[in-house]
Amino acid sequence: MTGALADLPPLRESLEAHGLLARKSFGQHFLLDLNITRKIVRLGTLPEGATVIEVGPGPGGLTRALLEAGLKVIAVEKDARFLPLLGELAEASEGRLTVVEADATRVDEAKLAGGAHHIVSNLPYNVGTPLLIGWLTAAEPPLSMTLMFQKEVAERIVADVGDDAYGRLAVVAQAVCSARIVMDLPARAFTPPPKVASAVVRLEPLPVRPEPALLKALERVTAAAFGQRRKMLRSSLKALGGGALCEAAGIDPDARAETIDVAGFLELARALRA
C-alpha cells in the first residue's frame, strides 16, 4: 500500500470524525472492513492503471481498495455530506481519485471517463437495476462491471433458462455479457445491515455484441413475453406479431417465455426487426 493511503484512519473513525450517519433514503449500507473491499477489487481482476468509475463511494471503503490496487478512480456520489471525507482520500491518492457530486442515473459514464472504463460499485439498491440496464445497453459499454446487488437481483442477472429467477434481466444481461456471481455477503457485513443478503456479480462483454437496434428489439420482446410469463408466446407477443413472429423466428408459438433461451429471444428480436 502506498504511504499516504496507509496513513488514513480506519473507516469507522473517519465516519465518526465527520459526524456521518447512514441515510436510508440514499440506500446507504457501508462496507467498513477493508479485507472485504480488497477482496471485491481482487475479484474484479482489473489491470493496474485502468480507469474505474465507482458509483456511490460513501465513506470510501471500496474506493480505498481500488486506489491501493493502483487504479484511477472517478467516484460519483449523490450525498454531498461525504465530499469532505472523500476529499481527504483524494489528497492521499496523489491525483488518482476524482470525486464527482452527481446522481449516477443522470451521468454518462463513458463521457465522464473520457473513454474505456470499468465499473465497480456497491450499488445503492434502489437504483441498481436501472443503472445496470443503462450500462448493458450503452453505446460505449464498460470493459467490465463488478457490482454488489441484493442477492435476489444477482440471481436474476445470472439465471439460466428454466430457473425460477430467469426473466428479462437475465436475457438482456446475458445477450451482451457473461455474468456470474463471484462473492456472497451476509447482511451483517454492512453497516447498518440491510434486511437481505447481497452478492457481487462480475459481468464482462461478450466478444460479439448485438447492434443497438437489435438490443432495442430484444428489450421490447422480453418486456412483452415476461410481462405475461405464464401465457403462450402467441398471446403474450400478440402486439408484436404473435404466432407469425414466433414462426419467422423458428420458435414454438405455444411455448412460454421461461422456456426460451437467450439465443431464442435474439431470434425473436431479429424477426421483429425484419
List contacts with ligand SAM (CB under 6 A): 26-31, 55-59, 61-62, 76-79, 103-105, 122, 124, 127
CB 69 within 8 A of CB 96: no
Output 147 or 271, the one with its CB closest to ligand SAM. Answer: 147
Cβ proximity to ligand SAM, 122 vs 236, nearer residue = 122
Q: Are 38 and 1 in contact (CB under 8 A)?
A: no
Rounded to whole angstroms, how far apart are CA atoms 58 and 48?
23
The nearest distance, CB 114 to ligand SAM, in angstroms, is: 19
Q: To the nearest 10°, the Cα dihedral for 18, 22, 27, 33?
A: 80
Sheet holding 118-122, edge to edge: 97-101, 72-77, 51-55, 118-122, 145-150, 198-205, 177-185
* Rounded Cα gap, residues 106 and 138, in angstroms: 13
Shortest CB 264 distance to ligand SAM, Å: 34
Of 55 and 173, CB closest to ligand SAM: 55
**Residue of closest CB approach to ligand SAM:** 56
- Alpha-carbon span 109 to 60, nearest angstrom: 19
Cβ 2 to ligand SAM, closest distance in Å? 20
- The CB-of-232 to ligand SAM minimum distance in angstroms stands at 39
Closer residue to ligand SAM (CB): 45 or 105? 105
User: Minimal distance in Å, beta carbon 44 to ligand SAM?
Assistant: 13
Residue whose CB is less far from ligand SAM, 77 or 155: 77
